[in-house]
Amino acid sequence: MINLDLQGRRALVTGGSGGLGRAIAETLAAAGAQVAVHYRKGLDEAEAVVAAIQKLGGRAQAFQADVSDPAAVEKLLQEIESAFGGLDILVNNAGMDGPRASVSEDDPQVWEKVLAVDLMGPYYCARAAIPRMEKAKRGVIINITSVHEFIPWEGYSAYTSAKAGLSMFTKTLAQETADKGIRVVAIAPGAIQTPINQSVWADPQSLKDLDEKISMGRLGRPEEIGNVVAFLASDLASYITGTTLAVDGGMLIYPEFRHGG
């Protein structure tokens, strides 16, 4: 019998108050982990996630921090350590894509903000988590990238650059920590149906255009990402580190070429 069991594990999900983060937090809790639901804004949303987890018998607590601020991240990890006694799983999910703009017309401060959240945030969180994981000689860091670590996206150069950078950060960090009992992996979601992209999937024409870019012909569900996170965080994935797993319904196999070049 194969058993995906995270009992006794303590997890932090950044950006855990809604959408993809909520699904990840709820799935980890369902697998037995005690979950720190991080939020930057929106205490009510974070507490709703905690309440949903607790209603099903899980354990969770909300924590606030700006992941682009290293001092705030260190304080966050201290608070989690005080509440949970340690940290075994870090899911770097918090992110933003920023407004669409070409490089020649965008705002450098906005570009830097996207990198601060999407790339520096995971760096700060990993940097603070690793010493704590080293003490236990066990830990898993999961970075949520995107298919846009592989696929260019016109108008979103900051986002694509940050996600590509996070991919290489994953590999390098895995190399540094492999002999310390710490695994580092990335998940590259494709088009996932969440409230943040409702304007796309709620419009029939936009949805049709997007579905045609996906080999399986549909958007992914948040819980499909949560399930993969739980698997990678578990001992079932004990020999996986330093790689990106695309969970994209076949977007990266370019369905446009199904009938020839």
The CA angle 36-38-43, to the nearest 5 degrees, is 115
**pLDDT value at residue 261:** 63
Is residue 244 within a helix (H) or strand (E), and if so which, with residue range? strand 244-247
Tell me phi and psi for residue 195, to 5 degrees. -60, -30
User: From the candidates 124, 159, 239, 254, which is the catalytic residue?
Assistant: 159
The neighbour count for residue 138, using CB atoms within 10 Å, is: 16
- Cα separation, 122 vs 73, in Å, equals 10
**pLDDT value at residue 88:** 98
Place of tokens 């965008």: 106
Express each pLDDT in 219-254 by its tens digit.
999 999 999 999 999 999 999 999 999 999 999 999
**pLDDT value at residue 154:** 96
The single-letter code of the amino acid at 103 is V
**pLDDT value at residue 253:** 94
Q: Which residues, given as ranges, of the chain have pLDDT below 70?
A: 1, 261
- Cα separation, 170 vs 7, in Å, equals 25
**pLDDT value at residue 205:** 83
In b/e form, how buried is each residue of 225-245, taking b as 16+ CB within 10 angstroms? bbbbbbebbbeebeeebbebb
Which fold would CATH assign to domain 10-249? Rossmann fold (3.40.50)
Is residue 63 within a helix (H) or strand (E), and if so which, with residue range? strand 59-64
3-class secondary structure, 251 = helix
Residues near 231 by beta carbon (within 8 Å), at least 6 away in sequence:
4, 237
159 is catalytic: yes
Place of tokens 């894509």: 97
| Extents of the domains making up the chain | 10-249
Cβ contact 52:23 at 8 Å: no
Residue of 69, 233, 232, 95 lying closest to 165 (CA atoms): 95
DSSP single-letter state for residue 248: S
Tell me phi and psi for residue 159, to 5 degrees. -65, -50
**pLDDT value at residue 206:** 80
In this structure, what is the dihedral angle of CA atoms 25, 181, 69, 23, given to the nearest 10 degrees?
Answer: -10
Residue of 205, 167, 214 lying closest to 186 (CA atoms): 167
